[in-house]
Copies of this chain bind each other. A is one copy, B any other.
Amino acid sequence: MSGSVYGNLFKIATWGESHGKGIGVVVDGCPAGLTLTEEMIQVYLNRRRPGQSKYATPRRESDTVEILSGIFEQKTTGTPISMVVMNTNQQSADYSDISTYYRPGHADYTYDEKYGFRDYRGGGRSSGRETIGRVAGGAVAMAILQQLGIHVCAYTKSIGDISIDYKNCNKENILLSPLAMPDLQASKAAQALLDDKIKELDSVGGIIECIVSGMPTGIGEPVFEKLDANLAKAILSIGAVKGIEFGSGFQAAKMTGYQNNDKFQYNGCEKVTKLTNHAGGILGGISDGSEIILRASIKPTASIAQTQDTINKSGENIKVNIKGRHDPIIVPRAVVVVEAMTAVTIVDLLFMSMCCKMDNIIKFFQPIASCPHDKDMNC
């Protein structure tokens, strides 16, 4: 059934395969009047583009986006925004042999079981290239959030055993590291680790942390459309993600109530703050005005060049060496994908939350219901 459409009021419908003609997304539900250009989208696509360091696949793609609809005089019109990135560097021949067997850690087997056959070229729809649509859609969401003073910022928190403690998520800092790891000393250590793993024909996993600041309170819809529940779905829908946690996360399981409870406090001027943020900015599934903090566990790249045991479609146990162009680590390029899915989810929930109070609704429809030209009734 349909599984490539995400969101309720703000929707993205992504499409495309690794070695098909292109990859794209239709963004439906973007409000009218937002300034939007191809350059604004391209900034995000460039962050996930391959071939920018030796820690990413050498496939050469400019990943240039074209907007086909929904914009008039550089502004969104409220109608669907269709965006396309054409594939240019498919080398499908590299993949012909994987048509006959199932790569360990990949979706080859499950796609065959589900659909009866598969577009095996470069992983088809289950390729990491699928995320181009997410990132382009996320860029639109980012543009909306920016207008509202909400900032989404992700970075590489750990690679293998190398982990950093980073506050005040700052995008410029993060871009200084080829691994999106803003502690440059740790980044160097991680690069050395990756150099080793490349030599060993192996790959490594890691953790991405994403922080959302500037969140209004009241976002998230109990009991099933909670903010954390929706973010969990959004992030787990990204390939290679094996877990997610918010605030104290899995650590909370070892804490006591007194330790884990965040104390509320009024600062001067009666603004509500919390002295800690174990909650990760969410209480009862609703944003509490603090930073949203989430972490995603990313598994090591499944495509490795060393010999592995697996099976083929003829019913035989075989040994394989996977060819093709692969990343020794997925984490750095997934950082912007995590941001994108977070942004799309938050925009959707922001819009949903607009109708939760009768007072707000009455205020909202007041100016619309009355004629805009009514001001001067005694003309």
Contacts and interface: CB of A to CB of B under 8 A. Distances in A.
Interface in A5-38: 5-11, 13-17, 20-24, 26, 28-29, 31-34
Nearest to A203: B257
A34 B303 CA distance: 30
Contacts of A260: 105, 205, 299-300, 302
Interface residues of A, number: 179
A316 interface: yes
Given A1-B355, A68-B84, A124-B72, A118 B77 contact: yes
Nearest to A10: B2
Number of copies of this protein chain within its complex: 4
Q: Which of A105, A216, A311 has the most CB atoms of chain B within a 10 A radius of its CB? A: A105
A252 B368 contact: no
A368 B364 CA distance: 14
B1 A358 contact: no
A111 B69 CA distance: 16
B32 A13 contact: no
A239 interface: yes
B68 A266 contact: no
A61 interface: no
Contact of A76 (B17, B225, B358): B358
Contacts of A109: 217, 264, 272, 283, 288
Nearest to A78: B115
Contacts of A298: 252-253
Contact of A257 (B250, B258, B304): B304
A242 B245 CA distance: 6
Q: Which 8 A-B pairs give the minimum distances between C-beta atoms?
A: A107-B284, A3-B221, A243-B245, A2-B29, A270-B373, A203-B257, A32-B115, A110-B286
A350 interface: yes
Contact of A232 (B17, B102, B126, B233): B233
Interface string A90-121: 00000000000010111101110111111100
Interface stretch (A40-48, A52-60, A143-151, A182-190): A143-151
B229 A4 contact: no
